[in-house]
Amino acid sequence: MASPIKGPGLFLAQFAGDEVPFNNLPYITQWAAGLGYRGVQIPTFDDRLFNLDLAAQSDDYCQEVAGICAEAGVEITELSTHLQGQLVAVNPAYDDSFDAFAPEAVHGKPAARTEWAIDQVKKAAVASRRLGLSHTVSFTGSLAFPFLYPWPQRPEGLIEEAFAELARRWVPVLDHYRDNGVDIGFEIHPGEDVFDGATFEMFVDACGGHECAMINYDPSHFLIQQMDYLAFIDIYHDRINAFHVKDAEFNPDGRQGVYSGYQPWIQRAGRFRSLGDGQVDFRGIFSKLIQYGYDSWAVLEWECCIKSPEQGAAEGAVFIADHMIDQTDKAFDDFAGGARDDAQIKRMLGL
């Protein structure tokens, strides 16, 4: 019996560029397929690969995109709105940094930038429906993250109001997704207000338990925070709709730990690595996901401060394929019997 998990898939965002074969969708999908990928996660914020505005308006364009992927031999796994989702909520401390993710016309205009971002995320729901997709992936954005550490003492109600405001911005978006038959897998990620299980619960509660608020599971962020990423699946499996297969390592020493001392990535105690070069137990993860019936894509997100993206992508396809599990359709002890016999059951129980 084949694995219910689909893959290998590749998130194209970190590979898009101005040089062939990374500068347009036909070339990059052919390149990905040549490495052994069966699916691609498309960043909607990169016009070299995808025109989100057009996709939200035109079935013909969506059919063209799907046809390009099919001709290359890959499927579309999800549309990504990570950068637009980030801009749905931005603390003023990050205004200058995150303006780079938005069109120049809204730079220095936080309200206009938020309005643009919300419109973009909504368009991804329509585009996904036109493409026949059920899931998207994104970020929540951050209002409270600069106040992560409780010093200086936080004013009472600060965090609660931040999550209430997140909900005011996201619930209409989530309703729009529900109307289009699509959901959003939020990548739980430091820098977002939703960065672990506790904050995800706060977000979902603030959104009234909205059924379209899902999780893009990425264990690398949990390992770096020293969370139990396998137990996370036990707790939240019914909310996991997407899976970023990304590796990481955490090597604390006498100088730095989880916060990593403002060091550059290559010198941090916690850093992302190419698949197989880190410490994440992917065999445990794939087993857990199959145990709970996950049947969507396993998508490589490549981020590494040491290995080249080309080598990481080539090795990643093989790595994911090697971790696929053909799910059994029989019990290992079937040979010993076990067929139901009501009379036998009563005899064994003395009934």
Q: Is 195 domain-assigned? A: yes
CA distance 229 to 81: 24
pLDDT value at residue 339: 76
Q: Is 227 domain-assigned? A: yes
Exposure of 17 in the CB half-sphere (CA atoms within 13 A): 8
Contacts of 46 (CB under 8 A, 6+ apart): 12, 13, 16
What is the tens place of the pLDDT at every residue in 93-111? 999 999 999 999 999 999 9
How confident is residue 320, by pLDDT bands cut at 50, 70 and 90?
very high
How confident is residue 154, by pLDDT bands cut at 50, 70 and 90?
very high
For the chain, how big is the Rg over CA atoms in Å? 22
Structurally, how many domains does the chain consist of? 1
Answer whether 0.75 is exceeded by the pTM: yes
Distances (CA, A) of 122 to 49, 153, 171, 217, 275: 19, 37, 11, 22, 32
Q: Which residues pair with 10 in a beta bridge?
A: 40, 300
CA distance 215 to 223: 16
Domain with 297, as residue range(s), is: 6-349
CB 229 within 8 A of CB 222: yes
What is the tens place of the pLDDT at every residue in 33-69? 999 999 999 999 999 999 999 999 999 999 999 999 9
- For the cut 70, the answer to whether the pLDDT of residue 333 exceeds it is no
Supply the mean pLDDT for the chain: 96
Q: What is the torsion angle, in degrees rounded to the nearest 10, for the CA atoms of residue 327, residue 314, residue 216 and residue 55?
A: -110
CA distance 120 to 46: 12
pLDDT value at residue 41: 99
CB 300 within 8 A of CB 10: yes
Q: Is 1 domain-assigned? A: no
How confident is residue 331, by pLDDT bands cut at 50, 70 and 90?
low
Q: Is 61 domain-assigned? A: yes
Q: Is 72 domain-assigned? A: yes
What is the tens place of the pLDDT at every residue in 175-190? 999 999 999 999 999 9
What is the tens place of the pLDDT at every residue in 261-316? 999 999 999 999 999 999 999 999 999 999 999 999 999 999 999 999 999 999 99
Q: Is 326 domain-assigned? A: yes
Q: What is the mean pLDDT of residues 197-213?
A: 98
pLDDT value at residue 337: 66
What is the tens place of the pLDDT at every residue in 133-147? 999 999 999 999 999
Contacts of 174 (CB under 8 A, 6+ apart): 184, 207, 210, 212, 213
Q: Is 134 domain-assigned? A: yes
The domain that holds 70 is classified in CATH as 3.20.20.150
SS3 sequence, the chain?
A: CCCCCEEEEEECCCCCCCCCCCCCHHHHHHHHHHCCCCEEEEECCCCCCCCHHHHCCCHHHHHHHHHHHHHHCCEEEEEEEHHHHHCCCECHHHHHHHHHHCCHHHCCCHHHHHHHHHHHHHHHHHHHHHHCCCEEEECCCECCHHHCCCCCCCCCCHHHHHHHHHHHHHHHHHHHHHHCCCEEEEECCECECCCCHHHHHHHHHHCCCCCCEEEEECHHHHHHCCCCHHHHHHHHHHHEEEEEECEEEECCCCCCCCCHHHCCHHHCCEEEECCCCCCCCHHHHHHHHHHCCCCCEEEECCCCCCCCHHHHHHHHHHHHHHHCCCCCCCCCCHHHCCCCCHHHHHHHHCC
Task: Compare 178 and 337 and report the one with higher pLDDT.
Answer: 178
